[in-house]
Structure formats: structure tokens, C-alpha cells
Amino acid sequence: MTKVLIADKFPEAYIEELRRNNLEVIVEPGLNADNLAEAAKNVDILVVRSTVVNEKTINESEQLNLIIRAGAGYNNIDVAAANKKGVYVANCPGKNAVAVAELTIGLMLSLDRRIPDNVSDFRKGIWNKSEYSKANGLMGKTLAIVGYGNIGREVAKRAKEFGMSIYAKDISRIEGYGVKTFDEFSKMLPTADVISIHLPETPETKNLFNKEMLSYMKDGAYLINTSRPGVIDEEALIEAVKSKKLRVALDVFSDEPSGKSGEVHSRLMELDNVYVTHHIGASTEQAQNAVAEETVKIILTFIQSGVIAHWINRAQKTPTSYQLVVKHYDRPGVLASVLDVLRQDDINIEEMENIIFDGGVVACCTMKLDKAASSEMLNEMKANKNVLTVSHVSTEN
């Protein structure tokens, strides 16, 4: 029986659904980076939210086949270690986008009206209508969305209803909701009243908001980060908060505790202009149900068909330059004879797909090769009476 370990909080209804599908499901939401290796030793599928899946967990696992990040960002999983062991990694992109966008809007309003400070003073018995009556309002203000994927788009939709003028920047696409694109940070950021970051943490985005970027921002502008802490240089941010009176709201920060409750320490606590929430962007019932539904779908599809939805660690491009397409009768040994010809000349197959035509008589096998097959080899393949056609092309430009 396939064993699934869920090492984070997961909605009960979806655990039951997995069990109804004859899976052995172990639920241990209290696991952490240090004790996950032991717990995951004999499981086939591991599901995590923010629990860290390190190299040790992956290397010491005896039958781990698939790790699912029940969320969007997967930088808590050592994907390089998974690659080396042939463990599939998948995520659930977009499923918690609405929840993160909702929090972003909440933080935007909080920064403008200083809602957390209002409440905090009230709890201390302080009445300060004169101070808290100073707010800009969001209507007519300019919002720059940095990172325009699933979450950025949900933020844009909502901000548009507030009558904001919206600009967005994304590596791959800008579309919809009357959003304008911007290319240069140095021109856009000085005009933005609010900047909201929705980027994954990658080598390209690491410390993107550094001293120079922050220097482009208007004095007193609002900066919101609900994505990953690494996209902001926190030292530079602390300086900019002081020198430019930026107002900042962060759902993620560098000293975020790895556990789910306990103490927290951060230099950000000392800054009145900085609001920090407890990495709760994705934590609404709606989002967690959507993520859980997707996770169950990924698991069941994988078990039933071997196909992995939202497969992260599939090579985008293999180092192949040649494609071989063999149409053949769908009979035993035909492909083996083709592979044997390739083996003789030490040609490696980087990728291979065999598709059957309706009726099951003929199949078509497409192979990506690291070296060219010679015309003699192609003739040898064609000599098999069960091979119908062989075509070989160079895919090099």
C-alpha cells in the first residue's frame, strides 16, 4: 500500500479522501527539519507546507518517490538533492493566490490607516484620534506590483476596485485589468505610492530590493512583501525605513522562526513604521482547501497514471541535439531492437516518449539523442520488419 506522510497541517476532509483511495496516510503536523528524516524513511509520498525537507531527509529515505509542496513557493525543499535521487517534486501554484492577495490588500489598508497602531494604543488605554486621522487614502494612488504571476494578478484586480493606478512588472507576462507594464525600476519606483512584491526567491530576485532600489522609492511610500524574505536586503530596508520614512508591511522576514509557535526576535521589532505578520498569507480556510484539493489531485493522478502535475524538477531542456522518431508496430521487442542499435554506438537517449495510435496497432516513439545516429544505423533500424518509418533530425539551430 502506498504510504503518504503529511508533515504539516492539512484539512481533515482531504486526508479522508486519500484514505478512501486506499492510501496509508500518516499525519504528523508537528514534524520539523530535524525529525522529518526519521519519519519519512519508509514513505512513498511526502506532503509539506513550510516544513523544511533537507538533503538528509531525501538521502535517508528508502522509497521516497514524490514530494508535494502544499503551497506555491518550494524553497523549503532541497530540490537539488531530490534531483540527484530521482525524487519528483511538485507544487500547487496559484491555489493560495487569493488568500495572499487578500492579506496584501489588508496590509495596504493597514499601512495607510495605521490600523495595528490604532488597536495597540487602544489596548494600552490611549485615545489618539488626532494622530490617526492622518491618512492618504488609496484612491488615485499609484501601485507598482513587482512580480505579476497568480498572486500579483489577484492583487491588481482588487486594487483596481480601489481606484488605484496600477503598474506591474513580470519576467514573462503582463496582461489584463488595465495594468500598465514598466521596464525600469529607476523610473517607476519614484512615482509609486505603494509597492507590493510577489516574487519567488531565485538567484535573480535575491536581494532585488537593495540599497539602490530602495533609494528610488518616494519618501513615505509604502512597501509590502508577502512573498519571500530574500527578495529584500533587510539591512538596507532598515536604513531606508529610517532615512526615507518608508512604511513597510512584511509577512515574511529573515529571522522568521521555523516552528509554528514560540519566541521571535528581529531588529524589525524596533521600528514603528514596520508591521510584521506571522507568515499567514496562505493561511485561510479557502486557500488551504484549494491547496489540499490540488494536492490530492496530484497524488491520485500520479498513482493512477504516473503523470505528475506541476512537476518542478523536470529538466526544462536536456542537452540533446538530435531527435529520432520511429513509427512501429506495437509488438514486443521492436523498441528493444532500435535501442540496441543506439547502444552499439554509445548514443544516449535523454528523453523518450512512446505513443500508441487508436486501435493499438501502431505506435510512435520519439527519442531525444545526445549524438547523431548515422545513416547505417537508421538502415539497421529499418531492417526490422516491424519498424514502419524512421526519421532523424538535428534540433540544433
- Of the candidate spans 237-245, 277-285, 323-331, 379-387, the one that interacts with ligand 3PG by CB under 6 A turns out to be 277-285
**310 is an interface residue for ligand 3PG by CB under 6 A:** no
Residue from 28, 55, 239, 256 carrying the catalytic annotation: 256
Residue recorded with cell 525600476:
185
**Only segment of 157-165, 178-186, 280-288, 359-367 that touches ligand 3PG (CB under 6 A):** 280-288
152 vs 378 by CB, closer to ligand 3PG:
152
Closest contact distance (angstroms) between CB of 100 and ligand 3PG is: 7
Nearer to ligand 3PG among residue 149 and residue 281 (C-beta): 281
**Would you count residue 283 as binding ligand 3PG (CB under 6 A)?**
yes
- Give yes or no: 239 in active site: no
Task: Please state, in angstroms and as integers, the Cα–Cα distance from residue 96 to each residue in 172, 281, 311, 313, following that order.
Answer: 20, 8, 18, 21
277 touching ligand 3PG, by CB under 6 A:
no
Residues in region 23-82 near ligand 3PG by CB under 6 A: 49-50, 71-73
**Between 14 and 182, whose beta carbon lies closer to ligand 3PG?**
14
Is 96 a residue that touches ligand 3PG (CB under 6 A)?
Answer: yes
The residue number with the shortest CB distance to ligand 3PG is 71
Q: How far is the CB of 125 from ligand 3PG (least distance, A)?
A: 34
Active site residue 279: yes
Q: Which of 153, 198, 228, 392 is catalytic?
A: 228
Q: How many residues bind ligand 3PG (CB under 6 A)?
A: 9
Instruction: Judge whether 113 counts as a catalytic residue.
Output: no
Task: Say which of 113, 158, 267, 279 is annotated catalytic.
Answer: 279
Residue 282 engages ligand 3PG in binding (rule: CB under 6 A): yes
- The answer to whether 152 contacts ligand 3PG (rule: CB under 6 A) is no
* Smallest gap from residue 6 Cβ to ligand 3PG (A): 12
C-beta closer to ligand 3PG: residue 103 or 240 = 103
Q: How far is the CB of 18 from ligand 3PG (least distance, A)?
A: 18
Q: Which residues bind ligand 3PG (CB under 6 A)?
A: 49-50, 71-73, 96, 281-283
Active site residues: 228, 256, 279
